[in-house]
Amino acid sequence: MDIPANDHLIGLEFDVNTSVVKKQKDKSKASKAKQFRLCHSIKISAVNKKRKIPPPISSFSSRLFHISDIILHNLCELSYKTPTPIQAQSIPVMMQSRNLLACAPTGSGKTAAYLLPVLNQLLSTNVSENSKCVDTSNGKTLSEHKISPFALILAPTQELMHQIRSEAIRLLRGIQDCYVAALHKKHYSVRCRKRAEVND
């Protein structure tokens, strides 16, 4: 039946299969992710093929991953506008607490790519649970204010260590009760030289 052009259909309901719409959206997202990776020469592979690699993010305030408001504010203050390619793909992977091996040229934003998820997780974790009294073998009790590390970042050079530390401090600006420590090799080299005793 033909309907005249000036007539309007009223009261018709169309039952749209939501799974079909979801599949179309998923295909669209996958296509956009593939295009982004191709455009920025991002090569990805996964050891566990069953778990999908999350798509890259296009902004730090992406709704897919909640980044702390404080960190978002600091990113804005530091003029971080959009994620670099390494950040766009690495941050979603690390926000899922997955292991990641990433290679990118100097100045591409690798430091922020791993610091953002680590610092974001730090802010969403109740670290006060870690500071409990512990009895030692000699009968002394450690302070309830003991500090235990939340994350450990190793750097091959002192220069890189200072760069990472200063970036972490800048991203954590305005956050109370958070410590960033940078240890030089003189702090632990003596301990490393001592041989561990092995008792049978």
pLDDT at 146 over 80: no
β-bridge partners, 135: 141
pLDDT at 1 over 50: no
Q: What is the CA angle 183-184-188, rounded to 5? A: 80
Least confident window among 68-77, 148-157, 164-173 = 148-157
Average of per-residue pLDDT across 47-60: 82
Average pLDDT along the chain:
73
What is the pLDDT, as a whole number, of residue 10?
44
Contact predicate 55/32, CB 8 Å: yes
pLDDT at 62 over 50: yes
Average of per-residue pLDDT across 33-52: 80
Average of per-residue pLDDT across 23-41: 75
What is the pLDDT, as a whole number, of residue 116?
92
Distance CA 61, CA 191 (A): 43
Which residues in 78-117 are b (16+ Cβ under 10 Å) and which e? eebeebbbbbbbbbbbbbeeeeeebebeeeebbbbbbbbb
- Structure tokens given for 48: 């566990």
Tens digit of pLDDT for each residue in 181-196?
Answer: 666 666 555 444 444 4
- Which of the pair, 83 or 14, is modelled with greater confidence? 83
Domains and CATH numbers, the chain: 54-99+109-116+152-174 (3.40.50.300)
pLDDT at 109 over 60: yes
Least confident window among 17-31, 50-64, 168-182 = 17-31
Contacts with 174 (C-beta within 8 Å, 6 or more apart), sequence order: 70, 73, 74
pLDDT at 95 over 60: yes
Contact predicate 101/128, CB 8 Å: no
Tens digit of pLDDT for each residue in 157-188?
Answer: 889 988 998 999 899 888 776 666 666 666 55
What is the pLDDT, as a whole number, of residue 141?
61
